[in-house]
Amino acid sequence: MISLTVNQKTYQLDVDPEMPLLWALREVIGLTGTKFGCGVAQCGACVVHLNGEAIRSCVTKCDRANHQNITTIEGLSMDNSHPLQLAWNEENVPQCGYCHSGQIMSAAVLLRENPNPTDRDIDDAMAGNICRCGTYPRIRKAIHLAAKLNGGKGNEK
């Protein structure tokens, strides 16, 4: 039995401990905001937070997440009011939108650890999140806007 605390709610799952966390989130719990992209930790579409860190859920086994805290895009805020979500709307960042759950979850770690990131900081944090639509300029703009909306304060883990 695997115990996952996802978005502050605890689930007891009768799954193989080897099952990728992404499968458990999407197929067992039913939280489909997190996306499957490459399946080999190369694209970033599946990023969720494990105890506050932006892990790739497609290669993370449930065993590693057992009894740990997970936050998905659905739990980043309860009412879509996270500065990144507001900024993403304001800048109309997504095109197809497929990669943006992962983009936002990665950006959230950046802003928590560096509330006023430079362009280089954004490159260092976001280079592992691929967007085939090429929305990178808008992602950058939205992260800067979110930093302003947040008043330069990092969020708690």
Partner 1 sequence: MKYENQKTGYEKTLILFVISLAITFMALGLNVAKTPSISKIPTKIIKDSLASVTAFKKVYRVLMSPRCMNCHPAGDIPLQGDDSHLHTMSPKRGSEGKGLYAMKCANCHQPGNSPGLHTPPGNPNWHLPPANMKMIFQGRSPDQLARQIVDKKQNGHKNLQQLIEHADDGLVLSAWNPGEGRTKPPLSHSEFKRAWIEWLNKGGYAPKKL
Q: Please report how close the Cβ of residue 29 comes to partner 1 at its closest, in angstroms.
A: 21
> Least CB distance from residue 14 to partner 1, whole Å?
22
Pick from 27, 21, 29, 23: which is nearest to 61 by CA?
A: 21
Is the CB of 9 or the CB of 42 nearer to partner 1? 42
Scanning 8-16, 24-32, 48-56, 77-85 for contacts with partner 1 by CB under 8 A, the matching segment is: 48-56
Binder of partner 1 out of 1, 9, 40, 151 (CB under 8 A): 40
Which of 13, 19, 28, 59 touches partner 1 (CB under 8 A)? 59
Neighbours of 81 (CB within 10 A): 9
Convert 25-61 to b/e letters by CB count within 10 Å (16 or more is b).
bbebbebebbbbbeeebebbbbbbbbeeebbbbbbbb
Smaller CB separation from partner 1, 9 or 112: 112
Rounded to a whole number of angstroms, the minimum distance from the CB of residue 126 to partner 1 is 7
Does 115 interact with partner 1 (rule: CB under 8 A)? no
Residue 147 zone, left/alpha/beta (φ > 0; ψ -120 to 50; rest): alpha
Residue from 128, 133, 136, 154 that binds partner 1 (CB under 8 A)?
A: 128
> Which positions from 89 through 108 interact with partner 1, judged by CB under 8 A?
105-107
Q: Is 24 in the site for partner 1 (CB under 8 A)?
A: no
Strand order from edge to edge, sheet including 53-56: 9-13, 2-6, 68-71, 47-50, 53-56
Angle between helix 119-126 and helix 136-149 axes, rounded to 10 deg: 110
Under the rule (CB under 8 A), what is the footprint of partner 1? 40-42, 47, 53-56, 59-61, 64, 105-107, 109-110, 113-114, 121, 123-129
